[in-house]
Amino acid sequence: MFLSVLQHLYSLRWTLPTAIMMGSSPTFITVWAAMRTLTIFLPERIYTQANDTMYDLYMRLILFFFHSYTGAVVSIYGNAEELLNESCKKNVIFICNHQCTVDWIVANMLASPQNSIGRIRFILKDGLRFFPLYGFYLHQRSCIYVRKNGKFDQEKASKELALLKDKNLPVWLVIFPEGTRMNPELPQTIEKSQEHAKEQGYEPFLHVLSPKVKGIQLALEQLRSHVESVYDVTIAYNNTIDSDTGHRLPAPGMLEILSLRRPEIHVHFDKIPVEDIPSDEIKLKHWMFTRFQQKDRLMSHFYSKLPEERGTFPGKSRTLDIPLTKTIPSFLLYSVGLLVLFSTPSGRSCYWKVSVIGTLTGCLWMSFR
């Protein structure tokens, strides 16, 4: 009985982190709004620096829970030295396979060694624009929302990408070219992807979905002179192999990762100079499919039936180190902020007003964007 209770409590390890991360959003938005008001008549670069610093601080709260709290082990394969080099603080386009809601957090983890978390901007699916508070915030942070299913507004996306260069914004532009998550429990999505690969003249992928090229094509058209490289990243998660059948399981979501003890995340990293990437549309499509063929081979190695290959990528790896000193200040800052707010009736009233009014205002604003 007592053991069952302990196991149940352990399975709820995600509750406190979730409460603090989500609960801090009204505080974050309030501070951002105050900062934006104070910098409205100042040079744009001052606001950009302040905004990037705020994002960095909040993401370090996220990393405190997903890395420090869980004890996550992140193994880097491939050109690990380049990624872990603190002096390589450059503008890049970041392409990655997509399996679960943790992928965007891994992107922030990988930006940490180069102190580039504040540079991250995402290309996101359109539905996230109405996410409470953060949908609006990410839009003003120059993240780009795109529609799928043939409704992709190329002209609008191109203009928004051009602003990154015109404003000379520091950027890690994160793109998930598959456009949706690779989930082995959704065979129709996989079959549709495989049919598309055949139509394009390529062998069907087994462990990734066929990439959509338009996003990176527009990004390169607008940012080729603004970025130095493309970071090609492949992610795999442990505990995604059925021990009985050997079949692949869905990647863990955010709550599952927070409930695990020492989750393992495997990352293969490659850096491609932007001048080595073709600008011609047909050649770029071939380049992209070739990159995803490599990703598929890496994932096939990870899900191999051979014990010596299963659960790893080829080659040696290095462990990503995110010191506690880089994450715990954010945890303390936001935790104390929440305690102070909820300690008084006026603080609680302000908190709930910001939550409700901020969400409604943000959704209304984004409905016209």
pTM of structure:
0.93
Domain range enclosing 310: 19-366
Look at residue 86 and tell me whether its pLDDT is greater than 80. Answer: no
Over 70: is that where the pLDDT of 12 sits? no
Residue among 61, 179, 161 nearest 117 (CA) = 61
Nearest to 181 by CA among 103, 110, 128, 116: 103
Say what the pLDDT of residue 239 is: 87
Please tell me which residue, 11 or 130, carries the higher pLDDT value.
130
Q: Rg (Cα) of the chain, in Å, rounded?
A: 21
| 55-70 pLDDT per residue, tens | 999 999 999 999 999 9
Of the listed ranges 149-158, 192-201, 208-217, 241-250, the one predicted with least confidence: 149-158
Out of 6-10, 338-342, 348-352, which region has the weakest mean confidence (pLDDT)? 6-10
Please report which confidence band the pLDDT of residue 82 belongs to, taking 50, 70 and 90 as the band edges: confident
In the block, which residue shows the tokens 């001052």?
46
Task: Give me the pLDDT at residue 8, please.
Answer: 47
Q: Is the pLDDT of residue 3 over 50?
A: no
Q: How many domains are contained in the chain?
A: 1
Q: What's the mean per-residue pLDDT of the chain?
A: 91
When pLDDT is averaged across residues 147-169 and rounded to a whole number, the result is 83
CA distance 84 to 318: 9
Share of the chain above pLDDT 90, in %: 80
Provide DSSP, 136-168: HHHHHTT-EEE--TT---HHHHHHHHHHHHHTT
Indicate whether 219 belongs to any domain: yes
> Is 5 a member of any domain?
no
The pLDDT, as a whole number, for residue 49 is 94
pLDDT above 90 (res 6): no
Position 119 confidence tier, pLDDT thresholds 50, 70, 90: very high
User: Which one-letter amino acid corresponds to residue 25?
Assistant: S
* DSSP letter, residue 288: H
User: CA–CA separation, 254 vs 16, rounded Å?
Assistant: 13
Nearest to 306, CA basis, from 241, 252, 262: 241
Structure confidence at residue 68 (pLDDT): 94
In the prediction, which pLDDT does 127 show?
87
Residue 321 is assigned to a structural domain of this protein = yes
Angle at 107 between CA 102 and CA 109, to 5 degrees: 90
Q: Is residue 3 part of a domain?
A: no
Q: pLDDT higher for 72 or 149?
A: 72
- The answer to whether residue 54 sits within a structural domain is yes
CA of 242: how far to CAs of 6, 171, 295, 299, 311, in Å?
26, 38, 21, 15, 12
Q: Is 123 exposed, middle or buried, given 0-12, 13-18 or 19+ CB atoms closer than 10 A?
A: buried
Tell me what pLDDT residue 9 has. 46
Q: What pLDDT band is residue 183 in, cutting at 50, 70 and 90?
A: very high
HSE of 318, CA atoms in CB hemisphere, 13 A: 14
Of 11-25, 50-64, 188-202, 254-268, the poorest mean pLDDT is in: 11-25
Which residue, among 239, 261, 258, has the nearest Cα to 250 in the 3D structure? 239
Q: How confident is the model at residue 151 (pLDDT cuts 50, 70, 90)?
A: low
The pLDDT of residue 188: 94
* Eight-state DSSP code of residue 231: E
Give the Å distances, CA to CA, from 353 to 32, 37, 137, 335, 347.
16, 19, 17, 19, 10
